[in-house]
Structure 1
C-alpha cells in the first residue's frame, strides 16, 4: 500500500473547477494509475481526500495499492518546474500499529442514515446535517473500525457534567451533480454532503483499523470520502 501527498497550486487557472467537482477530481486521481483501464470499476482500494488547510494550502492525499504517477496533476494543478509529489510505503506504518496507542486523526466522510417518509415507502439514504448527528454517525462506527475516540479531560470540558469527546466537525460542503445509472443511460441528480472530522483516538483493534485506513469508512469513497489519516498527537 502507498500513501501519497500532493500540494495543489490554487493560483493555477482551472484549479477552481477541479476543486469544486468531486467527479473531476476522482477522474484525475484514477488517471494516475497506468494499470487501470478506462471504466475499470475495480478501484475500491483507491481512496483520496482534499485537505483545505488555508486558501493557498490545499493538499491531496491518496491511499492506493498501486504507486501513482501524478505528472498530469503537476502539469495541470501544481508547480511543474519546482515541486512534485511524495509517495510513501504505507505498509510499514500499518504494520506497526499497536493496541492502546493514541493518534490524532483526520477523516472526510459522508455521514448518512436511512429514513422512511411514511409506512410502506422504501427507505431513502439521507445526509446528516447537524454536527451532533454527524458526530454520532462516527461514534457509532468506531468500535467496528478498530478505534475509540478519546474523551475530553474533565478540566478541559466546557460544561462540568458533559461527556465530550476529543472530536470536532468542520468544513461541511454540499455538492450536487449528475451521474449515469449502471447501464450508462439515464442521468440522476446526486446530492453529496461531506464533512471533515478532526480528533484523537486510541487503537482498540489494529487489524480492524488497518482495514479502515486502507478500505475507507462510510459511503462516497469515489468522491473524496472515507480516507482517514493518523498523525502523532501534539
Structure 2
C-alpha cells in the first residue's frame, strides 16, 4: 500500500475542471494506475484506491491517495500541477509506502485524524414505502453517524472524550436536553458540502440522472481498539461515495497541547 500527496495548482483551468467534478477527479485518479481499470471493482475486503481533497486555503488544495500500487501522476502534473518545475528528483508529487504506519498501529494508542465522509441514513415517510437513503444535514446528526458505537467497533477505533473540565456544557447537553456530541467528544465538523454533478453518459448517448453527494470533513482524536480492523478501515475506506472523494481516513501523531 502507498500514500500519495499531490498539491493542486488552482490557477490552472485543468485544475478548476477537476475540482468542480468528483466524477472527473475520480477518472483522473484511476488513470494513475496502469494495471487497474477505471471500471474495476475491488473484491470485498480487498484494498482499494481511495482519495480525498483537503483545502487549507483558497490556493492550497492537496490531493491524498491511498492505493495498493504506486501511482504515476504525470498526467495530473500536466493538467493541474507545475510541469515546468518538475524533474527526476521532483516529479510533482510525493509517494511513500504505507506499511510502516500500518504496522505500528497498537491497541490503546491515540492519534489525530481527518476523514471526509458521506454520512447517510435510511428513512421511510409512509408505512409500506421503500426505505430511502438520505444524507445527514446537521452537525449533530453527522457527528452521531460517526459516533455510532457499532460503527466505531467495526472500524477499529473510538472517538476520544474530552476531560470533564474541558467541556463547555454540563454532561455534554444543550439547554433543550438534547445530546450534543460536539461538546463531549474530541470531534469537529470542519466542512459540509453538497456536490451535484453529471455522471458519464450511458451507452447510446442517454444522460444519466445527476448525482448529489453531501460530504462532511471530520477532525478529532481517536483511540485504537482493534488494530486489524483499523488497518482494513485505512485501506478500504469508510461509508458510501468512496469513488467521489469520501471514505479516506488519515492519521497523524498527536501534538502536545500548549498550557
- TM-score, structure 1 normalization: 0.94
Report matched runs for 1:48-87 at 5 Å. 48-83=51-86, 84-87=92-95
Aligned match of 2:108 in 65, 90, 100?
100
TM-superposition CA deviations, 1:135-172 (whole Å, max 9, x none): 00001121210001001112221113326100001211
Q: CA RMSD in A?
A: 1.9
Aligned to 2:197: 177
- Distance in 1 separating the partners of 2:17 and 2:165: 45
Q: Which moved more, 1:172-181 or 1:95-104?
A: 172-181
In the alignment, the residues of structure 2 paired with residue 8 and residue 145 of structure 1 have an alpha-carbon distance, to the nearest angstrom, of: 30
Matches of 1:180 and 1:12 in 2, distance apart? Answer: 23
**Which of 122, 145, 150 is matched with 1:114 structurally?**
122
Deviates more, 1:170-179 or 1:20-29: 170-179
More strand by share: 1
**In structure 2, what is the equivalent of residue 18 of structure 1?**
18
- Alignment partner, residue 222 of structure 1: 243
* Partner SS, residue 223 of structure 2: strand
Alpha-carbon separation, structure 2, partners of 1:91 and 1:182: 39
The structural deviation recorded for 1:182 is: 8.8
SS in 2 for 1:188: coil
Q: Secondary structure at the match of 1:187?
A: coil
Q: Which residue of 2 aligns with 1:213?
A: 234
Task: Tell me how far apart the structure 2 counterparts of residues 65 and 122 of structure 1 sit (CA, whole Å).
Answer: 37
| 1:135 maps onto 2:143 in alignment | yes
- Which whole-Å CA distance do the structure 2 matches of 1:99 and 1:25 have between them? 35
| Structure with larger Rg | 2
The question of whether the paired residues in 1 share the 8 Å contact of 2:30 and 2:38 is answered with: no
- Per-residue deviation, residues 8-50 of structure 1 (Å, max 9, x unmatched): 1111123222111100100010000011235334496000000
Q: Distance in 1 between matches of 2:58 and 2:207?
A: 37
Structure 1 residue 180: deviation in Å? 6.2
76-85 vs 36-45, which moves further: 36-45
Classify the secondary structure of the residue corresponding to 1:4. Answer: strand
What are the superposed Cα offsets for residues 46-96 of structure 1, whole Å, 9 maximum, x if unpaired? 000000111111100000001100000011111113251111100121011
**CA offset digits 1:181-233 (Å, max 9, x no partner):** 99886612221100100000000000000000000000000000000000011
Unaligned runs of 5+ in 1: none
Change (3 A) 1:164 1:119: same
What does residue 6 of structure 2 align with? 6
Stretches of structure 2 lacking an aligned partner (at least 5 in a row): 87-91, 173-182
Q: Secondary structure at 1:161's aligned position in 2?
A: helix
Counterpart-to-counterpart distance in 2, 1:146 and 1:200: 13
| Mean CA deviation greater in 140-149 or 176-185 | 176-185
Aligned: 1:191 with 2:218: no
Correspondences of 1:35-50 after superposition (within 5 Å) = 35-37=35-37, 39-42=39-42, 45-50=48-53
Is 2:7–2:81's contact at 8 Å kept on the other side of the alignment?
A: yes
